[in-house]
Structures are given as structure tokens and as C-alpha cells.
Amino acid sequence: MYIALKDLQEYYMKPGSISWGILFPFVFALAFMFRHGGLTTWLVPGMISLALFFGATSMSGMSIVFERRIGSFERLLLFPASYIGIALGKSLSSFFLGLVSAVPIFLLAYFILHVIPVHAILLVLAIVLASFASSSFGVLLSFIIKEPEQVMVILNLVRFPMMFLSDVIIPVSLMPHYLLSIVLIQPLTYMTEAIRYASTGSCDIVSPLAAYVVSFLIGLAFLLLAAYAIKRSRT
């Protein structure tokens, strides 16, 4: 928790976190809204999931890569903390930024478009799982990036294809059949499906249970892999 609070103090106002974590998803949602027939009930869960995903991954990318570059990350390895504890701490700050990133989309969806979620409690759960999985993914991804200047380039290289291949803005029904297997291996697909079920009462491609369970499991798997990457960062 101390690591998360420290990261929020240190990085929440960094341009990378603000521009790619908060502004980009919001502007993206606005663009769909102003387009004729734009931000539909179907699209709202995708936009929420996208905001969570971009927000959570941007923060960890900023903090870990920057700290590794200037040598601050190594300070964390000198404290009597477990590697999972460090990964969780790093993940938590990103988790909070993910939640913050989703707020403007909520405001757009529920106050302007009057999209009311079908299962409010499940929506909270889905958002928590999606933000957890995204932040852990961001922590893990940060260990393959060496330079701070590369952070957004590499993150976007990974995030943009996922955005188009995860039933976020393009329905699977409009995609060629052979892309379905790619959609099914995208973590973002399960996060979006969980949010979609809570918002609209139905999923597009997987069962609601699978959406929630897989979202949790991939979050956990990314967290464990991130802890392993932290351990491996000792030379």
C-alpha cells in the first residue's frame, strides 16, 4: 500500500499518465458519441474497459520504467518486502489510475446517454477485476521496456491491436471467422465481456462465468509473472 501511495504522489500528474491514461480514452469515447449513432449501449462497456486498460497500463509503464532507469526501483528490492508484495504495490497505484480513467466514461454513459447497468454490483466486480488484470499486465510489460522514451511506443504497440481484436469497438460478429481464435486469447476480451454482462445483461462470445473467472485468473497470472520478473531483475 505504501508503494502505491508513493507512486500516486510521484507519477499521477506525469504527462504520459494523463495523456494516454485519462485523455485518450475519454476523447475516444467522445468521438464515438458525436458520431451519428455513436456511443451505443453496446459500445459503452468497451469504452469503460478501454479506459481502465489504458489508464492502468500507462501508470505502471511510467513508474517502473522510469524508476529502473534512474535506479530508484532497486530501492524497493532493499526493503524487507516480498517480490509479490512489490508487484502488488506497483499494480495497486495503476489500479487506482485505471478506476479514475473510467470515471469520465461513466459520466458520459450514465448521465448523458442514460445507460443504466443491469447488474450494478457485478459491474463493480467486473471493473475491479478488469483494472486489476490491466495493472498487473502493465507491471509485467514494463519489465521488457528499457528506456522511458520507449514506454508509450511499446505499450501502444501492444495495446492498439488488442483494442481492435478484443470485441471492444468492433463486434466479433463483424470480424472474419478466422480472427475469433485471436479474440479469445486476448485478456481484454474477457474484461470487456465481464463489464458488458454487468451493463447489458448479456455477453457476446464467452459465458459470464468464464468472463469473470478468466479476468481474475489472468490478473493473478500477470501478477505472479511480474513478481518473477522483479526477482529476475536482481543480477
Which residues bind to other proteins, rule: CB under 8 A? Answer: 2-3, 6, 9-11, 70-72, 74-82, 234-235
Asked if 190 contacts 134 with a C-beta cutoff of 8 angstroms, the reply is: no
Terminal-to-terminal C-alpha distance of the chain: 26
Q: How far apart (Å, rounded) are the C-alpha atoms in residues 198 and 156?
A: 28
Q: By C-alpha distance, which of 19, 20, 200 is closest to 109?
A: 200
Give the SS3 label for residue 166.
Answer: coil
The least CB distance from residue 66 to other proteins, in Å, is 10
The least CB distance from residue 62 to other proteins, in Å, is 12
Give the SS3 label for residue 85.
Answer: helix
φ/ψ region of 38 (left if φ > 0, alpha if ψ in -120 to 50, else beta) reads alpha
Number of Cβ within 10 Å of residue 210's Cβ equals: 14
The least CB distance from residue 221 to other proteins, in Å, is 25
Based on CB atoms, which residue is closest to other proteins, 8 or 105? Answer: 8
The least CB distance from residue 9 to other proteins, in Å, is 6
The least CB distance from residue 151 to other proteins, in Å, is 17
Burial class (CB in 10 A: 0-12, 13-18, 19+), 228: middle
Asked if 129 contacts 188 with a C-beta cutoff of 8 angstroms, the reply is: no
Based on CB atoms, which residue is closest to other proteins, 11 or 96? Answer: 11
Output the CA angle 158-58-44, nearest 5 degrees.
80
Query: From the DSSP assignment, how many helices (H) and strands (E) are in the chain?
Result: 11, 0
Based on CB atoms, which residue is closest to other proteins, 7 or 193? Answer: 7
The least CB distance from residue 78 to other proteins, in Å, is 5
Based on CB atoms, which residue is closest to other proteins, 40 or 82? Answer: 82
Based on CB atoms, which residue is closest to other proteins, 67 or 204? Answer: 67
Based on CB atoms, which residue is closest to other proteins, 6 or 119? Answer: 6
